[in-house]
Every structure is written in C-alpha cells, then in structure tokens.
Structure 1
Amino acid sequence: MIALSLAEIADITGGRPHDIPDPSVRITGSVVIDSRQVEAGSLFAAFAGEHVDGHDYAERAVASGAAAVLAARPVGVPAIVVADVEKALGALARAVVERLGTDVVALTGSAGKTSTKDLIAQVLQAHAPTVWTPGSLNNEIGLPLTALRATEETRHLVLEMGARGIGHIDYLTGLTPPRIGLVLNVGTAHIGEFGGREQIAQAKGELVEALPSEADGGVAVLNADDPLVRAMSARTKARTVLFGEADDADVRASEVRMTPAGQPSFTLHTPTGCGEVTLRLYGEHHVSNALAAAAVAHVLGMSVEEIATALSGAGTLSRWRMEVTERADGVTIVNDAYNANPESMRAALRALAAMGGAARADGGRTWAVLGPMAELGDASLAEHDAVGRLAVRLNVSKLVAVGGREASWLQLGAYNEGSWGEESVVVSDAQAAIDLLRSELRPGDVVLVKASRSVGLERVALALLSGEGEVADR
C-alpha cells in the first residue's frame, strides 16, 4: 500500500484514533486481516467472524509489527476505531486507488473468472507492473485488500468480482471504480440463489453500467459468443470491444486445435494483426478465457506479438484449477476441485476427454471423480443428470460419483445414457473414492477431480499425489 499516516487513515475512514501517541506514524506495510500475516508497518483490520473475532488478536498483531489496528472498538493497542470495519476498509481502498490513478480492470462471469484473471495478470505483467486478485478473493473484503496492495509503481490493477445477488457488483465497483470492465459469460452458477439466467445477467451487467463513458475512456469487453453478454452493450456508455469466435468479434480465434496433451492452440486475431498461440493450460474452454485476456491487453495498448507471446507462456496461478500433475508411476491427476458449476463441469469433462486420447494410446483410462454442484436450486437434478450423460457421450472410461443424492443423480444420468456395466459407481465420501482409486489405478490413467468447493473433494487429488498407493506396471 502507499504510505499513509494514521491521521490520514482516520480521516478517510471517518474513524477515531485510540491509544495512538503519534498520529503522524505511517502505515508502510500491507493491510491484513490475519494476524499471522502481519509485517513491520502493517495495518491489521480486525473482523468479527462467525468463529473467530479479530479483535482478540489485536495485541498479537501489534507485537508482531503492526503499526495500528482498524477496529470496531478499543482494543488496548494503537487503533483507529470505526463504526464498520468492512466499510472502512472499502473507503480506504477507494481513496488509495483514486490517489494512484492506476488503470482498474474488473471482470466477472459465471465461470472461468479466476482462470481468466490469472491470464490477464500474466499478460499485463509482461507489459507493466500489475497487481491482481489472489485466488478467488473477489468479495467485499478480498477486493479492497487486493486494491490496497497497489503502490506508486502499479500500472494495472486487475480485480475479479463475484456476485451472490443483485447489487453486489454495483457495490464492488463503488469501492474500486473500473475503467475497463470484462464480462465473460452468463451461466447457471448460483442459479438457485438468483432464480434464473436473466437475473444472473442483470447482476453481471452491473459491471458495465458502472463504467465511465467512451469519451472518458471507459471500455466494456464483452463475450460475442454469449447472447446475454453481448446484449449488455446496450447497458453501458463505454466503448464496446467484443471477443470470441464470432466473425464480428474484434478479438477472435481461428484454426482452434488441440495438442495431443489436450492444450489448445489457435490463431489470435486483433485489430492490429495476428499471432499464433499455444496455451500451457488444458481444455478448449481456455480459448475463450485467452481471448478475453487478449482483448483487455489490446485495449491497454499491447501489440499482438506481445499478447501472443505472453499468453503462450502463461500458466496456472491459482490452486486446484485444472492443476495437472503426472505421478512417477505414470498416473496423471487433474485437480480441478476448487469449485464447480454445470458450465465448468462440462468444460472439465471435455478437457479430460481430450487428454484421454494420448492416454488411451498408451493403454490408459480416463477417470472422472465428480461431486455435487451446489446452489443449483430446482435445476440440480437435471444438471447432475446431464453431467452424468455427458461423461458417457465423451467416452470417459470410469465415472466415480461422490456423496449423497447428487452422486446418485450423476450415476443415473450415466446409466440412462447407456452406462450399464462397471463404468460408473457411487461412493459415499472422499475417503471411499481414495480407497477405490488406489486399488484400481494403473500407469497411463488420467484422473479428473471436480466438485463444488463446499464438498472438499481436493482431498482426493491431494491423497493421490501424496505418494501413497502408487501403482506398479500391470
């Protein structure tokens, strides 16, 4: 964060200094909400959570080097006491971003946000100093914490924005007003909470509504291949740039093909020229993500050569998102267990099928270890059934459905599509899946692990990578 005095922070947040002998002392370190992350000169923001109250750790934070605490009540150490810590943190983030004048790029969508954010970050970092959202910290607390990592050297600030309802993105854009807004897609993630895709589109479109006008430099980057996203051009005063495989997209792909390992390759077209891209990521769905990143980079002045080179060198920054690891015994684990919705589940299965081409040539099999997709409401049965059917259509060798009624729906879909033998099985929990796989895997097999975050199915992938139970040639 840029250096600010405690007096300045109190003024920005509307707070009251408490037990602060010298208000001119400056915050020179990071702003953190975990006392274990405190460094010299930090500001520790104390949040009262469901299980832990950060105020109880205020003394520890100061003893570890924090210059002060942002708190809702006096804590016995130097503190700025505010009425609402979350709102104060947001006000501080907005003030810092306004002082810096950095280009703010915000993105949202039903699927692919974090992977695309990571691509944008790596492409822009090759151009100029860039700060971006770590992992999926895309809410009312994570977003300002990310913005507060920006310094005087930061040229680009890339912020992922999530939404759990109407008005959420509007609130986030008020904290860090973007100049460039990217909408990836409108799918069925959280449809049980929103009530329908039209409501999801309404919420996602709040991002483009918040952009400045074209005359003031605002740019809306929209997916030309998603009708609900394309229609958002009517909701913004900003200039519109389209990306996708549609012929009229400003940034588009042609000659899309897959490498034998399942990595996409394509010709990138921008208004300034063409370039060849081969991604290090797995799955054809990353073509759209890469085009979105390329469109943002184009808007910010990068050449097509720079963009193509940066995209081809970009990897996975966030954990458990199509994280591919080959074990010493030749079994490949694809850990995509961070989260799941119908769109991302279908994309992951297609990626598994593409990777399976090389596996089958060596006698290997493809395994889809799938758990429940949460927050689908009345659509849950149909969506799980459809995923089970798709696994069969893609000729996935083995479907392991993990846990509860959703697992039975996954298997039901596979059964109704023609999986009548031992191709699919339901197991009770992650440990049962681990035990099954350890007894059945053989060299050359490829295993996809995917479910909603609440399920914790990453345990399966991590256990299979722990070195225990590796298989011998047979």
Structure 2
Amino acid sequence: MIALSLAEIAAVVGGQTYDIPDPSVQVTGQVVRDSREVEPGSLFVAFAGEHVDGHDFAAAVVEAGAVAVLASRPVGVPAVVVDDVQRALGALARHVVQKLGATLVALTGSAGKTSTKDLIAQVLRHKGPTVFTPGSFNNEIGLPLTALSATEETRFLVLEMGARGVGHIRYLTDLTPPRIGLVINVGTAHIGEFGGREQIAQAKGELVEALPSEADGGAAILNADDPLVRAMAARTKAKVIFFGESGEADVRAENVRLTDRGQPAFRLHTPSGASDVTMRLYGEHHVSNALAAAAVAHELGMSADEIATALSEAGSLSRWRMEVTERPDGVTIVNDAYNANPESMRAALRALAAMGTASRAKGGRTWAVLGKMAELGDEALAEHDAVGRLAVRLNVGKLVAVGGREASWLQLGAYNEGSWGEESVHVSDAQAAVDLLRSELRPGDVVLVKASRSVGLERVAQALLVGGVEGEVAAR
C-alpha cells in the first residue's frame, strides 16, 4: 500500500484511535486479513467470522510487525476502531485508489472472469507495473484488499468483480471507480440466486453504468457475440469497444483453430493492425478471453503485434483452471476443478474433445470426471442433463459422474443420449472416482476433472498427480 499515517487512516475511515502513542506512525506494508500474512509495517484487518474472530489475533500480529489493527472494538494494542470494519476497508481502498495515478480496469461476467483477468494482467505487464486480483478475490472484502496492494509505482490496476445479486457490482465500483470496464458474457452461473439471465445482465451492466463518459476517458469493452452484453452499450456514456468473432467487432479473431494439443491459434485484428496468436492455454473458449484482453490493451495504446506477443506468452496464473499436467506414465490430468457452471462445463468438455485427437493417436482415451454445478435453481436438472448429453455428442470416451442427485442427472443425460454399457458411470464420491481411475487409466489417456468448488473434485486430480496410480484422496 502507499504509505499512510494512522491519523490519516483514522480520518478516512471515520474511526477512533486506541493505544497509539504516535498517530503519525505510517503503515508502509500490506493491508491483510490473514494473520499469517502480516509483515513489518502491515495493517491487520480484524473480521469477526462465524468460526474465527480476527480480534483474537491482535496481540500476535502486532508482535509480528503490524503497525496497528483495524477493528470493531479496542483490542489492547494499537488500533483504529470503527463501527463497520468492512465499510471502513472499502473507504480506505477508495481513498488509496483516488491518490494513485494508476489506470483502473474492472471486469465482470458469468464465466471466464479469472482467466480473462489473468490474461489482461499479463498483457499489461508489458506496458508497465500491474497489480491484479489474485485468484477469485473479487468480493466486497477481496476487491479492496487487492486495490490496497497497489503502490506508487503501479501503472495498471486490474480488478475482477463478482456478483450474487443486483447492486453488488454497483457497490464495488463505488469503492474502486474504474476508467475501463469489461463485461465478458452473461450466462447461467448463480442463476438460482439471480432468478434469470435478464437479472444477471442487469447486475453485470452496473459496471458500464459506473464508467466515466467518453469525454472523460471512459471505455466500455463489450462482447459483440453475446446479445445481452452487446445491449449494454445503451447503458453507458463511455466509449464502446466491441470484441468477438463477429465481423462487426472492433477487436476480432479470424481463422480460429486448435493445435493438436488443444491450444487455440487465430489471427488477431484490432483497429491498429493484425497479428497471429498461438496460445499456451487450452480450449477454444480462451479465444474470447484473449480478445477481451486484447481490446483492453488496444484501448491502452498497445499495438497488435505487442498484444499478440503478450497473449502468446501468457500462461495460467490461477490454480485449478485447466491446469494440464502429464504424468511420467503418459496420462494427462486436466484439473479444472476450481468451479463450474453450464458455460464453463461445455467449454471444458470441448477442450477435452480437442485434446482427445492427440490422445487417440497414442492409443489413449478421454475421461470426463464431473460433479455438481451449484446455484442453478430450477434449471439444475435440465443443465446437468444437457452436460451429460454433450459429453456423448463430443465422443468423450468415458463420463464419471461424481456425487449425489445432480451427478445422477449428468449420468442419466449421457445414457439417454446414447451412452451404453460402461461409457458412463455414477460413483458416490471422490475416493470412488480415484479408485475407478486408478484401476483403468492407461498411457495416453486424458482426464478432465471439473465441478463446482463445493464438491471438492480437485482432490481427485491431486490424488492422481501426487500418487500417480497409487494416489489417495486427501481429507478436506
């Protein structure tokens, strides 16, 4: 964080100081909520959670080097005490962002936010120091903590914004007002909480409504291939830049194809020129993510050649998102188990099918180890059934549906689409899936593992990688 005195912090957040001998002492380190991350000069934010109360760690964090604690009550060590710690954290983030000279880029969408954010960050790093959201740290706590990690040297601040209801993104944009806003897509993730895609579109569009006008430098980056996103152009005063495979897009892809390893390649076209891209990531769905990143980079003055080079060099920065690892015995594990929704599940299956071309040449097969997609509400049965059917249509060698009712819907969809015999199977839990795979995998096989985060299917991938065919599922 940029250096701020405790007196200035107290004034910004409307707090009172306790046990602070010298209010001019500055916070020069990071603002953290995890006591294990405290370093000399830190400000520790004490949240009172359901199971752990951060206030209980106050003495320990000060002993470890924290300058003070942002707390909701006096804690016997230097502290700035406020009525609402979360709101105080947000106010501090807004204050710091306003003092920075960095360009703030915000993005949202139903699927692909984290992968796109990682691509944007890696492209913009070629232009200047860039701070970006770690993983999916995209809520009312994670976003301000990310913003507060910026320093005087930061040139670009890339923030992922998540939402579980109307008004959530508006709140986040109030904390960290963006100059550039990107909406990737409107899908069915969390549709059970929102109530429908139109409500999701209403929530995601709050980002472009928050942008400054075109005259003040605002730019809305919108997906030309998604009608609900394209319509958001009418909701902003900012300049609108469309990306996509549509011929009408300002930043678009032509000659899209997959290499024999399932990695996308295409001709990138921007208003400043064209250049060829071959990505290190897996799956054709990354083409749209790359175009979104390219549109942001174009708006910030990068040439087509610069963007193409950066995209071709970019890798995966966040764990359990299409992590591809080949074991010594020739089995390839694709760990995409961080989360799942219908759009990302279909994209992962198509990537698996593309990788199957190379695996079949080695005598291998494709395996889809899939679990529940959460928060789909009344659409849950239809969406799980559709994914099971798609696995068959893509000629996936074997579907292993893991878990309870939703997994049975996956398996039933595959069966009704034409999966006979042992081409699809329903198993009770992660250990059962590992036991099955351990007995049947052979060199050349490719295994995709994917489900919503709550299912914990990353344990399957980890067991197959850490112990190979002898791996066991670790306790959660």
Alignment TM class, shorter chain as reference: over 0.9
1:236 and 2:220 are equivalent in the alignment: no
Q: CA deviation at 1:114?
A: 0.1
- 2:3 counterpart residue number: 3
In the TM superposition, what whole-angstrom CA distance separates every residue of 1:163-203 from its partner, at most 9, and x where no partner exists? 00000000000000000000000000000000000000000
Amino acid across the alignment from 2:37: Q
Amino acid across the alignment from 1:199: Q
Aligned residues: 471
Is 2:233–2:240's contact at 8 Å kept on the other side of the alignment?
yes
TM-score (norm 1): 0.99
C-alpha distance in structure 1 between counterparts of 2:89 and 2:52, whole Å: 19
C-alpha distance in structure 1 between counterparts of 2:400 and 2:60, whole Å: 46
- 1:250 counterpart residue number: 250
C-alpha distance in structure 1 between counterparts of 2:320 and 2:376, whole Å: 22
Amino acid across the alignment from 2:74: P
In the TM superposition, what whole-angstrom CA distance separates every residue of 1:361-383 from its partner, at most 9, and x where no partner exists? 11000000000000000000000
Q: Could you say what secondary structure the match of 1:76 adopts?
A: coil
C-alpha distance in structure 2 between counterparts of 1:193 and 1:470, whole Å: 40
Q: CA deviation at 1:102?
A: 1.2
Is 2:189–2:341's contact at 8 Å kept on the other side of the alignment?
yes
Q: Could you say what secondary structure the match of 2:466 adopts?
A: coil
- 1:375 counterpart residue number: 375
Q: Could you say what secondary structure the match of 1:469 adopts?
A: helix
Q: CA deviation at 1:468?
A: 3.7
Q: CA deviation at 1:470?
A: 5.9
Gaps of 5+ in 1: none
Is 2:449–2:458's contact at 8 Å kept on the other side of the alignment?
yes
Gaps of 5+ in 2: 472-476
- 1:13 counterpart residue number: 13
C-alpha distance in structure 2 between counterparts of 1:200 and 1:468, whole Å: 41
C-alpha distance in structure 2 between counterparts of 1:35 and 1:297, whole Å: 36
Amino acid across the alignment from 1:300: L
Q: Could you say what secondary structure the match of 1:412 adopts?
A: helix
1:413 and 2:413 are equivalent in the alignment: yes
C-alpha distance in structure 1 between counterparts of 2:318 and 2:126, whole Å: 18
1:115 and 2:100 are equivalent in the alignment: no
Q: 1:374-413 counterparts in 2 under 5 A?
A: 374-413=374-413
Q: CA deviation at 1:420?
A: 1.5
- 2:103 counterpart residue number: 103
Q: 1:289-328 counterparts in 2 under 5 A?
A: 289-328=289-328
Q: Could you say what secondary structure the match of 2:90 adopts?
A: helix
C-alpha distance in structure 1 between counterparts of 2:99 and 2:378, whole Å: 47
Amino acid across the alignment from 1:89: L
C-alpha distance in structure 2 between counterparts of 1:470 and 1:303, whole Å: 50
Is 1:329–1:470's contact at 8 Å kept on the other side of the alignment?
no
Following TM superposition, the consecutive aligned residue runs of length 4 or more in structure 1 with deviations greater than 3 angstroms are none
Q: 1:163-178 counterparts in 2 under 5 A?
A: 163-178=163-178
Q: Could you say what secondary structure the match of 1:150 adopts?
A: coil
- 2:127 counterpart residue number: 127
- 1:39 counterpart residue number: 39
Q: Could you say what secondary structure the match of 2:412 adopts?
A: helix
- 1:191 counterpart residue number: 191
Amino acid across the alignment from 1:270: T
C-alpha distance in structure 1 between counterparts of 2:75 and 2:126, whole Å: 43
Is 2:100–2:152's contact at 8 Å kept on the other side of the alignment?
yes
In the TM superposition, what whole-angstrom CA distance separates every residue of 1:111-162 from its partner, at most 9, and x where no partner exists? 0000000000000011100000000000000000000011111010000000
Is 1:123–1:297's contact at 8 Å kept on the other side of the alignment?
yes
Q: 1:274-293 counterparts in 2 under 5 A?
A: 274-293=274-293
In the TM superposition, what whole-angstrom CA distance separates every residue of 1:60-115 from its partner, at most 9, and x where no partner exists? 11010000000000001000001111000000000000001311000000000000
- 1:442 counterpart residue number: 442
Amino acid across the alignment from 1:349: L
- 1:53 counterpart residue number: 53
Is 1:191–1:197's contact at 8 Å kept on the other side of the alignment?
yes
In the TM superposition, what whole-angstrom CA distance separates every residue of 1:25-84 from its partner, at most 9, and x where no partner exists? 000000000111000000000001111000001111101000000000000100000111
